[in-house]
């Protein structure tokens, strides 16, 4: 889409919502400036904003601020939840939670070590055992 904007392939870019366009206010403002420098306007369906007008431009900036604030609040809640799980090993409902990818079984680990001791390569071991190469690399290291 941005390539099309820079090539002036269209007059208006339509988006469902402001939060679908960028991750931060700076991203949104930079994108809007790029649009306007090439003569392309922006229409946001969900918010009913048309940046061809000064009021639409102002409202777009305010929505960007609120979208960034909302993302930061979500991020803070997720980080707080992860901190609780790391500290207690349980989520807010009291259920036991293990973070990270599941470990390979002891049987798979033994097979990997046996095949490696026979001189087999990491990629071939992963194919033979039916696991990812990263699992083999982690165990061999």
pLDDT tens for each residue of 66-82: 877 888 899 999 999 99
Mean pLDDT of the chain: 87
In a domain, 72, yes or no: yes
| Residue 100 domain flag | no
DSSP state of 98: -
The predicted structure's pLDDT at residue 109: 93
Q: What is the pLDDT of residue 80?
A: 93
Sheet (strand 41-44) strand order: 12-15, 41-44, 49-50
Last residue of a domain, one of 45, 62, 88: 88
Determine the Cα–Cα distance for residues 121 and 100; give it in Å rounded to an integer.
26
Q: Tell me which of 61-70, 74-83, 98-107 is least confident.
A: 61-70
Same domain for 80 and 21: yes
Whether residue 38 is contained in a domain is answered as yes
Share of the chain above pLDDT 90, in %: 33
On whether the CB atoms of residues 48 and 56 are closer than 8 A, the answer is: no
Residue 1 has pLDDT above 90, yes or no: no
Q: Extract the tokens encoding 111.
A: 């097979």
Whether residue 79 is found in the same domain as residue 134: no
Largest alpha-carbon pair distance within the chain? 72
For the entire predicted model, the pTM comes to 0.53
**Residue 25 in this model has a pLDDT that exceeds 80:** no
Instruction: Identify whether 94 is part of a domain.
Output: no
Q: What is the DSSP string of 14-79?
A: EES-GGGT-SSHHHHHHHHHHHHHTT-EEEETTTTEETTSHHHHHHHHHHHHHHHHHHHHHHHHHH
**Does the pLDDT at position 115 exceed 90?**
yes
Residue 99 lies in a domain: no
Give the range of the structural domain holding residue 115, as residue numbers without chain letter: 106-140
Confidence of residue 103 (pLDDT cuts 50, 70, 90): confident
Q: Is residue 42 a part of any domain in this protein?
A: yes
**Overall number of domains in the chain:** 2
* 18 has a pLDDT exceeding 90: no
């Amino acid at each position: 889409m941005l390539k099309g904007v820079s090539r002036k392939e269209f007059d208006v870019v339509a988006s469902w919502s402001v939060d679908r366009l960028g991750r931060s206010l700076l991203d949104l403002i930079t994108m809007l400036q790029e649009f306007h420098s090439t003569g392309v306007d922006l229409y946001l369906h969900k918010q009913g904003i048309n940046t061809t007008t000064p009021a639409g431009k102002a409202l777009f900036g305010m929505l960007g601020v609120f979208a960034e604030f909302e993302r930061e609040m979500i991020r803070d809640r997720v980080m707080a939840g992860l901190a609780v799980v790391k500290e207690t090993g349980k989520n807010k409902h009291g259920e036991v939670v293990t973070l990270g990818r599941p470990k390979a079984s002891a049987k798979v680990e033994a097979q990997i070590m046996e095949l490696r001791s026979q001189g087999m390569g990491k990629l071939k071991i992963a194919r033979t055992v039916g696991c990812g190469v990263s699992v083999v690399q982690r165990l061999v290291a």
